[in-house]
A and B are shown apart, each in its own frame.
Chain A
Amino acid sequence: NAGVMQNPRHLVRRRGQEARLRCSPMKGHSHVYWYRQLPEEGLKFMVYLQKENIIDESGMPKERFSAEFPKEGPSILRIQQVVRGDSAAYFCASSSWGTSTDTQYFGPGTRLTVL
């Protein structure tokens, strides 16, 4: 089991471009969480997805950000028309049951830099 995979590890975009971040959960996990870590800040919850469903997107900015977790393939976090303030580390985590005692397993993160 390779663990949670994220790619790319580093992504550089110019203002106005689109950023696509991918997350493959651990084998057998159907719950995916996305977090953002701004410089000098802690992890902030963005969105929680199960296969083909967005369960909670209360932490997502209202505009430009979207997420999906299709039946086949990785979960995608998409940021349209990126701005400098989007520069951050984006972490994906997965869990097997989604219960309160469940352990979330984290990916290595994608560091997005917006020029």
Chain B
Amino acid sequence: AQRVTQPEKLLSVFKGAPVELKCNYSYSGSPELFWYVQYSRQRLQLLLRHISRESIKGFTADLNKGETSFHLKKPFAQEEDSAMYYCALSLYSGGYQKVTFGTGTKLQVIP
């Protein structure tokens, strides 16, 4: 069965410092991976997906199949980045999408 691990419950960094939110997955096939973000009092929303290879709000994530990781990175943290971040693995099985979420990491950017 597929599994997503986010080892850090809380990550505190100073403004301007680099950020790396870790995500490891276990799945034998070719996964689709996403990062979702939940700002305070807002709904969960998509931040980025590996298939797009895009940079959103300065964040990037590279899929490393050898290490089965999809870490989220940003070179310089901003206060507005403080939020809950969820890594998610999506697979197409039995004719539909099934998404498995990690437990989330709370990013706290200290001014």
Contact = CB atoms under 8 A, between A and B. Distances in A.
Interface of A: 3-4, 31, 33, 35, 41-45, 48, 55-56, 91, 93, 95, 98-109
Given A42-B101, A98-B97, A108 B43 contact: yes
Contacts, number: 66
Contacts of A43: 44, 86, 101, 104
B44 A102 contact: no
B103 interface: yes
Mostly helix, strand, loop or mixed at chain B's interface? strand
Interface of B: 6, 32, 34, 36, 42-46, 49, 51, 86, 90-92, 94-104
Given A101-B32, A109-B43, A42 B97 contact: no
B97 A99 contact: yes
A41 B103 contact: yes
B97 A106 contact: no
A20 to B, nearest CB: 20
Contacts of B46: 103-105
B92 A100 contact: yes
Contacts of A101: 32, 49, 51, 90
